Chains A and B, each alone.
Chain A
Amino acid sequence: MAIKNKKVIAWILAAAMIAAAPNTISLAAQVEDAAAADEAEESGAQANGETVLDNGEVVMEGAVGKVDESEWVTLDDYELVAESSTYKMYLYEPRLSIILENKETGELLESTLNDAKDDGNSNKSWNGYMKSGIVIQAIVGTVNTYQVDLLTCDNTIEVTKTENGFSAKVFFTEYQFGLTVNVSLEEDQLIVNIPDDSIIEQKEGSYISMISLYPFMGYTFLDDEEGYMLIPDGNGALIHLNNKEGRYSTGFSQMIYGKDIGFTDSATQALLWDEVDMVRSANQVIAPIFGMAHTNQNLGYLAVVEKGDKRASVEAHPNGVMVNYNRCFARFLLRDIYIQPLNNSNSGTVTNVEADRTHTDLQVRYMLLSGEDANYSGMAVTYRNYLLDNGLVTIKDNGYNTRVDFLGTDREEFLMGTKAVTVTTVDNVEEIYKELQAAGISSMLSVYKGWQKGGIYNLPISKYKADSHIGGTGALTKLIKESEENNYHLYLYNDALRLNPSTNSSTFNVVKKVNKRTFKDEFWANVYKTFMYQTSKKSDSTLKKFVKSYTKKGVSNLAVEGISNTLFSSSSRGSFMTRYDCAADYESTLASIDENTNLILQQPFAYLWNYTDAFLDMPLGSSDYMYVDEEVPFLSMVLKGVIPMYSDYVNFEANKTEFFLQMIESGVYPSFYITYENSSALIYTNSSDLYSTEYNTYKDTIIEYDEKLREVAGMVDGALIIRHEKLDNGVTVVTYDNGVAIYVNYSGQEQTADGVTVPAMSYKVGEA
């Protein structure tokens, strides 16, 4: 930590601004304060000495020990506040703790740590965390590490009963902020809500940073219950509720809809040889959900973050991460701190607090599951019904297509500028289409990348003008129209987010981070190394301009990337744009474009699902977190039969057989990235990572995949997945609502399931 430098800078400033001496000196003091705070945070993390017992329990330093039985808060202390036909809800006011009782089975779902189940291994602050229905992380000054909960902090709670629940007005006297929590039970759904206008902050310098809502909803101790937590990583992943023996220091903690580039600093990774970034970034959270299932008790829930989702994170921590309980919850971020650099070398910085908090309601809907539905299949069905019932998705045409994307042209350095490297022209595409059609592929979806003038990285695209090297605009229009007649749908690709400062002016309309520094997306690439983001307003205007000139030619197939899966906070000319503003802009842009075009989106976030005709690049795996025990195709189960889904590119998969089986299992259609020329032509371009794309290499694979997957897709056409099960012998059974069951055998031996014999590493379609 460059405290010395900071001092030096502070001194220089002090000398320079001698007129404003009092101000400057206070700044210098602040600089050092921030540094001290940083250090305190670091040492604080190390001081958390933990020991792991033989049975896998983690014991904290300063553990408070078990609660004496006489002081236990038991169900008798709870008050019945609501009752539906299926559940009863009890409330214990001082902790805002609720317990839900399934009226049929009598099983209980607890929202905070029960004194009887307290293992006494945690310190006072964690004890307060675990037993409080709501936990706030506060910012005081510029430090955001203050934990505020109902047990360890002075507070007042006023509870009023409502028709099917209660409303609790909470105020923390020490911190001088408060909020109102509304909880209601509607049949088998529990809705927890914090209205925006109920959040009050009365003291300057004392703010709410994060709110965790019921961080222990449905918790379990070590391996007491069988079951798992569902996390929205990749397609879906499960963390089993088994004993983790203290192996993990962190659990799943990811911002819904990706990290906020407006706040994070990108230049902190470890690079090999100071240049190569070896670590892939983890998957983004596409859908605002998480779930918990206690499979033995036949109890569980799927939670949807309904409001406040654009600046919240899903947290799922297995036992051993600080405490011995498995828990998952949503944490809302209202106000953050950031680093404001004072010069270009970043040697002088101050920590700042966001000027205003995010203004939005916060709401989590827990959809309670019981009986046969208390598993991830039930969660998927529940989520799908929720989406359909609320009009968040509509059923699209789910007909099978093989997806074959093409790269037109990219640039490499030549003399003083760049020159085109063209790998697939319009004529090439036509030729490929003819061959594939002759080979029996009856329909296809293609995204043409790098079609625009100046090549794939001449961004943004604001005009329908094809590069002359691929054949020009006229030829391209003709190709799109003609192939459409043969059910070959060619979509033009448009990344409406990025701007290439080497080919386009970046003076205005690029995104600045909250600290007013221009955001730069740096790549380790051959030609263009830096990209910037357009502001959402600029994205809107360029995209609409493009669509106008495009549709004028009578074509309307459009594939959009970038704005379909990016959200950020930003600042521009003194004003501040939140992720909510950004999402609202993107949503309105895409909604209006969807009216004039056949729009497909690349890996769209959940709030955009209504506007896309296809889901491109559906992940089939997860991010390989160590604490994840099982990968499940959760999103595919939700969306199969609703929106057609296309996989990541098959080309770059190392284990192709396994990948093929995963597509069969999840009902995802295959994707290829194809160039007519050999990919070695791209070696000096930004696309040099496309190491294997030549058409001749993949022709046979495309035909083979098409034949097999089209057959399977035909049998489940328009059907929905109702159950997904992994048997012990390595066979996965996927059951559709039209009675078809698909058996996929991932093991190295022939296996039999439900009387169906499946060869090794293969699949069979049968009747359920």
Chain B
Amino acid sequence: MKKRVLRLTAVFLIAFVLISGIDILSVHAETPYRTYTVDGYGYVQETQTAYLAHATITKFGDKFLDTPSDLYVTENGEIYVADTGNGRIIVGDLEGNLIKVIGEGTLISPKGVFVTEENNHVYVADRDAAAVFEFDENGQVVNQYTKPNSPLYGDNLDFLPIKVVVNEAGVMYIVCESNTNGIVEISPTDGGTFLGYFGTNFADQSIQTIIYRAILTDAQRAKMASNIPSTPDNLAIDKKGLIYTVTRGDKSKTLKRLNIAGKNLIDPDSYDPIPAAVTAGNHDNVYVASQQGYIYEYNNDGDLLYVFGGLDDGTQRVGLSTLVTSIQVDQEDKIYILDSDKCQIQVYEPSEFTNLLHRALYLYSKGRYTESKEPLTEVLKMNSMFDYANQAMGRAYFQEENYDMALRYARLAKDYEGYSDAYWEIRNQWLKKNIVEALLVILAVYIVIRVVKFLDRKKQILAKPKAFWENCKQKKVVSNLLYAKYFMKHPIDGSYGIAREGRASWAAPSILLLIFTIEYIVNKYLCGFLWKNVREGRYDILSDIGVVVIVMAAVTACNYLVCTINEGEGTVKKIYTYFCYSLTPYIMLTPVAFVLTHVLTDNEAFLVTLVQLLMIGWLVVLLILSIKEVNNYTGKETFKIIALTLFTILIMALLIFIIYVLWAQVFEFINSIFGEVVYRLGY
């Protein structure tokens, strides 16, 4: 015991004498990595450098690291490193001074380290020792927790702890290698009581697997790749005792924030495929480090603020990593990244920009909206496209009842909820102000119409236009166009007209299809912001037209093919006509829906939905009835034909795809020969 104290003292002395193993960059103008943020649509945008590489720690005192796997930074800035290769915990500071070494001789392969803030007890997850050690602040082992003997743990399961965090009550949350049941929760009472599994991930239940499970035999099912839930890769705990986990390959569940009941409270909008570590920041923010060196910062809601850093491309530049295993944030928002391959700790410090953003985050989270506008304005000055700042700015203006500005910022940030609220208020104000005028205008229009009609009765002032209209109606195309309206209201009679009375034509349906296409495109790109499914400023009209044409061609052709061999009476012209005529409800109702999307908010969204439902229902009814009537089918036959048509379309698509693939092969082959010729001739 005495020997140990002596050794510690010696270590202390040496620490002061030795040169520190730290490189601090004096001046840094540019970083070797870019910084990005994600906009409201999930598109990536470049932004100001958020964090600058500040220092690289390669050794503490004269102690180098060997494949370190975990890191913990305490509130007073002490750095604890699980120096796995050397079987010890190294404690040092940001200047690279060695403070002490813990667990030498006791630990075999320490993979995880955690330090409690109140009494500086050090918890170490040692994989090969199959135990979690608890050291006191002097480096003495206080407790050792091995495999729980509770039957709930699972007899056949090994206990291979790799990461550990501890809450205020001393309850340990342990990630164990190859234990898929979840995080092992052990309370310190009675030398370690197994409390159960926590934050279990669920196996992916895609439609595909569900279908497979339904149709496969037991033997086949057994052969399928086992569908075992993934184990969390790392975890962290914040001051409120919430547990953060990262799990690779779990898509939007990659990052989770779990409350004490194990319920997930966060839904990140971007995630990393190979997350390595997670930590909670000082402003309700969360940091995730990818194994490949990307560092993500999220706000409280899981909106990505920044992603920066990156994989070292072999040029060995400061700030790029090769194999990240841990991330920590200190009181000054400095980020510590442990690189197991480079055996170093890379420290990043926040830029001016990030400091402002953090201040805004803090004020906003405290509900001090007006105050938060000041740093937000500065942030937007530096980057007017910063999504989170626009959103927060919009919400702040909303609190101040400046709805026009709130609307503007919400739209910039694609904050649909904020936009809807602001729009509601603006509309409300408009209505209050203009309701009388609006009513008067409507009244005036009504009176004008009445007067015109009255005059027409007395003096026939509309005689000429009326005659012209009658004249027009005589034209076949116009008459056929007008017939679509009749068809819509009387599908059975209308179908009869198509089948028997020569109402089938090419021109009129094509005009309808054209109107449909135009309406479809206008509605898609210019409808109210809240209903828009496409990114603002993005137009892809050619493919929209292509889709309409291809779908129409496919349904007409396939329906015709199916009908002819099923004694249907439709010709191509008739079939084309009824498909186009069936679109009439869309043509009639979409303008209504379009106008509604411009005046309604989320609160009244159901009105638009109602119109859309009506439209689709009507359209389907028209389709079914016209197929039935024109081809003279019974109800049962009709449904058979519809199913067959759909199936034919599927087969056709498949066929085209196969032909395409074959052609690509041929093309590739010809290309290869060309390549060979180029190579041979050296041309």
Give the interface segment out of A274-282, A470-478, A495-503: A274-282
User: Once the chains bind, are B32 and A280 in contact (CB under 8 Å)?
Assistant: yes
**Interface: A250 (CB within 8 A):** yes
Question: How far is it, in angstroms, between the C-alpha of A505 and the C-alpha of B28 when the chains are bound?
Answer: 42
Q: What 1/0 mask marks residues of chain A from 625 to 665 whose CB sits below 8 Å from any chain B CB?
A: 11101110000000000000000100011111011001000
A623 cross-chain contacts in B, Cβ below 8 A: 30, 32, 315, 317
If A654-B351, A679-B385, A684-B538 touch, does A691 touch B47 (CB 8 Å cutoff)? yes
B542 cross-chain contacts in A, Cβ below 8 A: 416
User: Once the chains bind, are A279 and B32 in contact (CB under 8 Å)?
Assistant: yes
**Interface: B49 (CB within 8 A):** yes
**Interface: A146 (CB within 8 A):** no
B320 cross-chain contacts in A, Cβ below 8 A: 279
Question: How far is it, in angstroms, between the C-alpha of A23 and the C-alpha of B319 when the chains are bound?
Answer: 51
**Interface: A272 (CB within 8 A):** yes
Question: How far is it, in angstroms, between the C-alpha of A413 and the C-alpha of B535 when the chains are bound?
Answer: 11
Give the interface segment out of B252-260, B302-310, B588-596: B302-310
A619 cross-chain contacts in B, Cβ below 8 A: 29-30
Q: What 1/0 mask marks residues of chain A from 657 to 685 whose CB sits below 8 Å from any chain B CB?
A: 01100100000000000000011100110
Q: What distance in Å separates the Cβ of B267 from its nearest Cβ neighbour in chain A?
A: 18
Give the interface segment out of B52-60, B95-103, B421-429, B446-454: B52-60
User: Once the chains bind, are B539 and A624 in contact (CB under 8 Å)?
Assistant: no
A631 cross-chain contacts in B, Cβ below 8 A: 26-27
User: Once the chains bind, are B311 and A621 in contact (CB under 8 Å)?
Assistant: no
Q: What distance in Å separates the Cβ of A560 from its nearest Cβ neighbour in chain B?
A: 23
A12 cross-chain contacts in B, Cβ below 8 A: 669, 672
User: Once the chains bind, are A624 and B668 in contact (CB under 8 Å)?
Assistant: no
If A278-B34, A631-B26 touch, does A13 touch B385 (CB 8 Å cutoff)? no
**Interface: A105 (CB within 8 A):** no
User: Once the chains bind, are B384 and A680 in contact (CB under 8 Å)?
Assistant: yes
A692 cross-chain contacts in B, Cβ below 8 A: 48, 381-384
Q: What distance in Å separates the Cβ of B148 from its nearest Cβ neighbour in chain A?
A: 40
Q: What 1/0 mask marks residues of chain B from 664 to 682 whose CB sits below 8 Å from any chain A CB?
A: 0000110111011011101
A248 cross-chain contacts in B, Cβ below 8 A: 316
User: Once the chains bind, are A345 and B668 in contact (CB under 8 Å)?
Assistant: yes
A278 cross-chain contacts in B, Cβ below 8 A: 33-34, 36, 294, 307-311
User: On chain B, which size bracket covers the interface?
Assistant: 35 or more
**Interface: A620 (CB within 8 A):** yes
**Interface: B314 (CB within 8 A):** yes
Q: What 1/0 mask marks residues of chain A from 236 to 280 whose CB sits below 8 Å from any chain B CB?
A: 000000000101111000000000000000000110110111111
A282 cross-chain contacts in B, Cβ below 8 A: 32, 315, 317
User: Once the chains bind, are B676 and A17 in contact (CB under 8 Å)?
Assistant: yes
**Interface: B318 (CB within 8 A):** yes
Question: How far is it, in angstroms, between the C-alpha of A250 and the C-alpha of B56 when the chains are bound?
Answer: 17
**Interface: A108 (CB within 8 A):** no
Tell me the A1-46 residues at the B interface (CB within 8 Å).
9, 12-13, 16-17, 23, 27
Chain A: which residue is nearest B49 at the CB level? A654
User: Once the chains bind, are A352 and B679 in contact (CB under 8 Å)?
Assistant: yes
Chain A: which residue is nearest B271 at the CB level? A273
User: On chain A, which size bracket covers the interface?
Assistant: 35 or more
**Interface: A340 (CB within 8 A):** yes
Question: How far is it, in angstroms, between the C-alpha of A653 and the C-alpha of B383 when the chains are bound?
Answer: 12
User: Once the chains bind, are B315 and A658 in contact (CB under 8 Å)?
Assistant: no
**Interface: B292 (CB within 8 A):** yes
Question: How far is it, in angstroms, between the C-alpha of A691 and the C-alpha of B314 when the chains are bound?
Answer: 30
Interface centre among B50, B56, B319, B673 (most CB of A within 10 A): B673
**Interface: B44 (CB within 8 A):** yes
Number of cross-chain contacts by CB at 8 Å: 189
User: Once the chains bind, are A342 and B538 in contact (CB under 8 Å)?
Assistant: no
Q: What distance in Å separates the Cβ of A524 from its nearest Cβ neighbour in chain B?
A: 8
B309 cross-chain contacts in A, Cβ below 8 A: 278
Question: How far is it, in angstroms, between the C-alpha of A249 and the C-alpha of B314 when the chains are bound?
Answer: 9
User: Once the chains bind, are B310 and A680 in contact (CB under 8 Å)?
Assistant: no
Chain A: which residue is nearest B382 at the CB level? A692
B316 contact from A250, A350, A416, Cβ within 8 A: A250
**Interface: B142 (CB within 8 A):** no
A13 contact from B53, B536, B672, Cβ within 8 A: B672
Chain B: which residue is nearest A342 at the CB level? B675
User: Once the chains bind, are B27 and A680 in contact (CB under 8 Å)?
Assistant: no
User: Once the chains bind, are A626 and B311 in contact (CB under 8 Å)?
Assistant: no
**Interface: B31 (CB within 8 A):** yes
User: Once the chains bind, are A624 and B676 in contact (CB under 8 Å)?
Assistant: no
**Interface: B45 (CB within 8 A):** yes
User: Once the chains bind, are B311 and A279 in contact (CB under 8 Å)?
Assistant: yes
**Interface: B683 (CB within 8 A):** yes
Question: How far is it, in angstroms, between the C-alpha of A413 and the C-alpha of B292 when the chains are bound?
Answer: 34
Q: What distance in Å separates the Cβ of B355 from its nearest Cβ neighbour in chain A?
A: 10
B673 contact from A16, A245, A653, A691, Cβ within 8 A: A16
B314 cross-chain contacts in A, Cβ below 8 A: 250
User: Once the chains bind, are B30 and A280 in contact (CB under 8 Å)?
Assistant: yes
Q: What 1/0 mask marks residues of chain A from 725 to 764 whose CB sits below 8 Å from any chain B CB?
A: 0000010000000000000001000000000000000000
**Interface: A415 (CB within 8 A):** yes
B313 contact from A279, A343, A345, A574, Cβ within 8 A: A279
CB<8 Å pairs between A and B, sample of 21: A23-B680, A278-B36, A278-B309, A279-B33, A280-B34, A342-B675, A343-B671, A344-B668, A344-B671, A413-B540, A416-B539, A619-B29, A621-B28, A621-B30, A624-B25, A625-B318, A626-B318, A653-B29, A654-B48, A680-B412, A730-B26
Chain A positions near chain B (C-beta within 8 angstroms): 9, 12-13, 16-17, 23, 27, 245, 247-250, 269-270, 272-273, 275-280, 282, 340-345, 348, 350, 352, 355, 412-416, 516, 574, 619-621, 623-627, 629-631, 648, 652-656, 658-659, 662, 678-680, 683-684, 688-689, 691-692, 694, 697, 730, 746
Q: A13-B672, A27-B676, A278-B309 are in contact. List 12 more A-B contacts (CB 8 A).
A: A250-B316, A270-B311, A272-B36, A278-B294, A348-B675, A350-B679, A516-B678, A574-B682, A629-B23, A688-B46, A692-B383, A746-B26
Chain B positions near chain A (C-beta within 8 angstroms): 23, 25-34, 36, 39, 44-50, 52-53, 56, 58, 64, 270, 292, 294, 307-311, 313-320, 351-353, 381-386, 412, 536-542, 668-669, 671-673, 675-676, 678-680, 682-683
